[in-house]
Amino acid sequence: NAGVTQTPKFRILKIGQSMTLQCAQDMNHNYMYWYRQDPGMGLKLIYYSVGAGITDKGEVPNGYNVSRSTTEDFPLRLELAAPSQTSVYFCASSYAGGGYGYTFGSGTRLTVV
């Protein structure tokens, strides 16, 4: 089915480890986003991209990196994982600026121990 695919769905990391959360969309959307969701806090924007080769920081970018080499893929890299990065991560994409809403992936639950 068309949409946004995130992998993995669950992951446990040890403090100091690194990992990449994968995100791919097949809708030819130019805009892609990474959010994190913490209990009682809603969704906070980590990074976003308006097209291949263009990325920008959101509200909570510290401890994360992104790249956008293709229209389809927007991986999120966690370097030196910390317990504060325990969260649910959502990737989303939109046509143009998102005036018609986003299509979300199913999320990745990450636990750092």
Chain residues binding another protein by CB under 8 A are 31, 33, 35, 40-45, 48, 50, 56, 58, 88, 90, 92, 97-102, 104, 106-107, 109
CB 30 within 8 A of CB 71: yes
Distance in Å, CB of 18 to another protein, minimum: 24
45's enclosing H/E stretch is strand 43-51
Residue whose CB is less far from another protein, 14 or 97: 97
Q: Name the minimum Å distance from CB 10 to another protein.
A: 11
Q: How far is the CB of 30 from another protein (least distance, A)?
A: 10
Over 78-100, what HEC string results? ECCCCHHHCEEEEEEEECCCCCC
Smallest separation, CB 63 to another protein (Å): 19
CB atoms near residue 34 (< 10 Å): 27
Of the pair 6, 85, the CB lying nearest another protein is at: 6
Nearer to another protein, 17 or 109 (CB): 109
Burial 58-78 (b: 16+ CB within 10 A, else e): bebbeebebbbeebbebbbeb
Q: What are the structure tokens assigned to 71, written together?
A: 């229209």
- Indicate the residue among 31 and 64 with the shorter CB distance to another protein: 31
